Structure 1
Amino acid sequence: MKPIPERIATFHVNGADRYGVVTDEGIIDLTPEFGDRFKGLKEVVEAGALDVVLKAAQGHTPVYREEDVTYLTPIANPEKLICIGVNFPDRNAEYKDGQAAAAKPSIFIRFPRSFTGHKGNLVRPPESQQLDYEGEVAIIIGKGGRRIAREDAYNHIAALTLCNEGTIRDWVRHAKFNVTQGKNWDSSGAIGPWLVPFRSADQLDDIELTTRVNGEVRQNDRTSRMMYDFRYIVNYISTFCTLVPGDVIVCGTPTGAGARFDPPIWLKPGDVIEVEADGIGILRNSVEDEKC
């Protein structure tokens, strides 16, 4: 994997939520310097200050080792968390419903509480054994807008991160037209490990996206093969709703989720899922049963 030079994370340590820059030697805590101006990374993004935070880290010594902190989702309280479904070749065929691929993307929303951070456990509820994984690239909106032109879409992206868009499969089938019930169980998915500032199109247009379960590659594809590319996604979503800084858009998963095996392979306690993308990093999580 290529080294990631710019990594800004949200984490919990010593009883408080903090943010800072992740280096190979540890984490530089920038909360003391910016906490009065920016409560969290959402406020940093709103102010267009990711570079300000990165610059402030120069010359500082890491305060924490990665193993000493608990990673949190990078944006704690986005106004919107929007997910794109069925966005890679062969994904439509996996549904085996006889329907042709749609001309427009499937879209649904998730609640922030449905995600945990890097190295946190995905939680399997007692109501279902069908916890599944979906590795995806997520974009963070930095400049808001409505009816954003396709050619201007990249000017509205502040940062990139990763998502394991964990799903309770049988609950997405409870109704005819929506998947909300299966997509919003507490801590069923993960986002992280950090934000990587978005600099240029080559960070998105053709990068490799891979999901591994216990070291076995289950999903692998390139973003250049997405049916609805990142520019289109920003343009399309902003047509019907106003995007604001800090909004998170999760952009679709390749074929190979556990539900598509015969028989299906569901996640179980102790499994380790890794979502990796070029230039962004590795999001790693395990699985536990809900403690009722």
Structure 2
Amino acid sequence: MKLLRYGAAGAEKVGALDAQGNIRDLSLLIPGDLTPDWLSPERLQALTAINLEKLPLVDKNVRLGVPVAGTRQFMAIGLNYRAHAAESGLDIPKEPVIFSKALTSLSGPNDDILLPDDSTATDWEIELGFVIGTKAQKVSEKDALKYIAGYCLANDVSERDWQIKRNGQWSKGKSFDTFGPIGPWLVTTDELTDPQKLEMELKVNGEVRQHSNTADMIFPVATIVSYLSQFMTLLPGDVVITGTPAGVGLGMKPQQFLKKGDVVTLRIDQLGTQTQKVV
């Protein structure tokens, strides 16, 4: 199932994508919001039994928001593709590199990217994301995928000067408002059973900058869930993004970064597309 939230920022309603690609309104079934309690396996299984064709259609041009509400933690993995580590001039990590993004950086998949004041080093990073559905503490890799509610497309927008030159702490360059576009929808795990064979592509102004496959991850999704859960409790609704492949602006020669008026488009198989204008 492809779950989504639509409408003006701060006033989103819950919807789903039907088999024909139309948005259907789920407000009669989920009158509030797509909060973490709706992400349990039992509730998701009940939702998949719904005949979406009988639900009201929604204008296809409506704004889409972050697919889930009530997220309490927004975690990210760095240097998780071999070619990206190489272009960054860094060794392959022996354990996952972890950082956090501010919850306030979350934005809809097609919302504008707002350049920070005087920024000349804002970069793009296409990533596979997942959302936790069941509280996870010290889980094994074997069982790890059972704790995931679904998968989503993400852009880990990054201001490199704040990330690298401002006395450490990657989160500084990752947490500006609009730096966490998520969506367009959350694809539940009954529909996407293998997150490690997804083609992904990012373009800037129509030119391909990143093209890879999640099969190239150093640490696959199951490893990431298990690893995180050893030292922190993952809660339903938490968003985790899993690293970016090669092709970021920081690694280009000469380096290239986003400027006002640029358009970034992203695609991951089965997870949809995003389009963001830089303002």
**What TM-score do the two structures reach when normalised by structure 1?**
0.88
1:90 has 2:83 as partner: yes
Q: CA deviation at 1:142?
A: 1.0
Paired position in structure 2 for 1:7: 2
Residue 60 of structure 2: which of 54, 66, 70 is its match? 66
User: Which of 67, 73, 77 does residue 80 from structure 1 map onto?
Assistant: 73
SS in structure 2 at match of 1:49: helix
Pick the aligned partner of 1:104 from 85, 88, 95: 95
Cα distance, 1:148–1:256 mapped onto 2, change above 3 Å: same
2:46 to 42, 52, 55: 52
Runs of 4+ in 1 over 6 A off after TM superposition: none
Which of 159, 162, 166 is residue 171 of structure 1 equivalent to? 162
Partner of 2:36: 42
Q: Match for 2:16 among 14, 21, 26?
A: 21
Letter in 2 for 1:32: L
Structure 2 unaligned runs (5+)?
none
SS for the counterpart of 1:172 is: helix
Match of 2:109 in 1: 118
Secondary structure at the aligned position of 2:136 is classed as coil
- 8 A contact 2:24–2:52 mirrored in 1: no
Instruction: Give the Cα separation in 1 of the matches to 2:260 and 2:161.
Output: 18
8 A contact 1:21–1:57 mirrored in 2: no
Q: Is the 8 A contact 1:48 1:142 kept in 2?
A: no
Distance 1:264 1:167 in 2: 14
Q: How far apart are 1:50 and its partner, in Å? A: 2.5
The alignment partner of 2:226 has SS state of helix
How many Å apart are 1:280 and its aligned residue?
Answer: 1.3
Q: Match for residue 201 of structure 2?
A: 210
Alpha-carbon shift at residue 178 of structure 1 (Å): 1.6
The whole-number CA distance in structure 2 between the counterparts of 1:200 and 1:56 is 15
Moved more, 125-134 or 229-238: 125-134
Percent identical among aligned pairs is: 29
Q: Output the CA distance in 2 between the equivalents of 1:175 and 1:275.
A: 29
2:146 is matched with which residue? Answer: 155
Note closer, same or farther for the CA distance 1:64–1:200 as it changes in structure 2 (3 Å cut): closer
Unaligned residue ranges in structure 1 (runs of 5+):
1-5
Change in CA separation of 1:15 and 1:202 when aligned onto 2, cut-off 3 Å: closer
SS of the equivalent of 2:50 reads helix
Aligned position for 1:3 = none
CA 1:279–1:237 in structure 2 vs 1: closer, same or farther (change >3 Å)? same
Residues 131 and 150 (structure 1), Cα distance of their counterparts in 2 relative to 1, 3 Å cut:
same
Q: Helix, strand or coil: the match of 2:138? A: coil
Q: What root-mean-square deviation, in Å, do the aligned CA atoms of Structure 1 and Structure 2 show?
A: 2.1
* TM-superposed deviation, 1:93: 2.1
- Mapped contact 2:33–2:69 kept (Cα < 8 A): no
* 1:220 and 2:216 correspond: no
User: 1: distance between equivalents of 2:64 and 2:241?
Assistant: 19
How many residues align? The count is: 278
Q: Distance in 2 between matches of 1:224 and 1:209?
A: 11
Secondary structure, counterpart of 1:44 in structure 2: helix
